[in-house]
Amino acid sequence: MFITPHTSVAIWISTRVGDPLLAFVFGVVSHFILDIIPHGDDNIADHKKEKKEKLIYLMRIAFVDVFLACLLLYFFISSGSPVDYWVLFGAVLGAWLPDFAWITIEMLKLHTLYWYVFYHGKLHNFFNWQYSPVYGVPFQIFFTLLMLRFSL
């Protein structure tokens, strides 16, 4: 799942939890729960045939995704909702960490941690149901807006 919907859940967590460490733990757990839900972005770069071309394409998507997630955080903070910044920081860090850990392990080729990449990937295929980003992207946008609705 994209970082933006993960961030929307982190925002929601920050409105329900008062402790930064607990918010962090819930952020991590929420990440893995969301990854289990079939979310239609597994084949988003399949039209790119070369490995390098595919990687550049995915990096561009990740850049836009993180930008949108930051925009979402900015929107939430400036909405005037009472929020403890440390709790929000803990929840966001927890929600982002599983994907950043995966990317770091892949990029630095940390072979001893490949078990994590394996299980993270396994979660994505828990229901073994992939569908097109044509439906997956709108689903994730809808999900993000729904979580935001519950947070404001």
In one-letter notation, the amino acid at residue 59 is M
Using CB under 5 A as the binding criterion, the count of chain residues that bind Zn ion stands at: 3
Is the CB of residue 92 less than 8 Å from the CB of residue 22? no
Nearest distance in Å: CB 119, Zn ion = 11
Nearest distance in Å: CB 81, Zn ion = 26
Which residues 38-97 are close enough to bind Zn ion by CB under 5 A? none
Distance in angstroms (rounded) separating the CA atoms of residues 67 and 127: 29
Nearer to Zn ion, 14 or 99 (CB): 99
Nearer to Zn ion, 86 or 102 (CB): 102
In one-letter notation, the amino acid at residue 18 is G
User: What tokens appear for 31 in the block?
Assistant: 């990440």
Q: Which of 99, 139, 140, 151 binds Zn ion (CB under 5 A)?
A: 99
Which residues 26-45 are close enough to bind Zn ion by CB under 5 A? 35
Is the CB of residue 9 less than 8 Å from the CB of residue 72? no
Nearer to Zn ion, 83 or 124 (CB): 124
Alpha-carbon torsion 61, 56, 92, 133, what sign? Answer: positive
Element (H, E) at 58: helix 51-77
Nearer to Zn ion, 37 or 55 (CB): 37
Residue numbers at the binding site for Zn ion (CB under 5 A): 35, 98-99
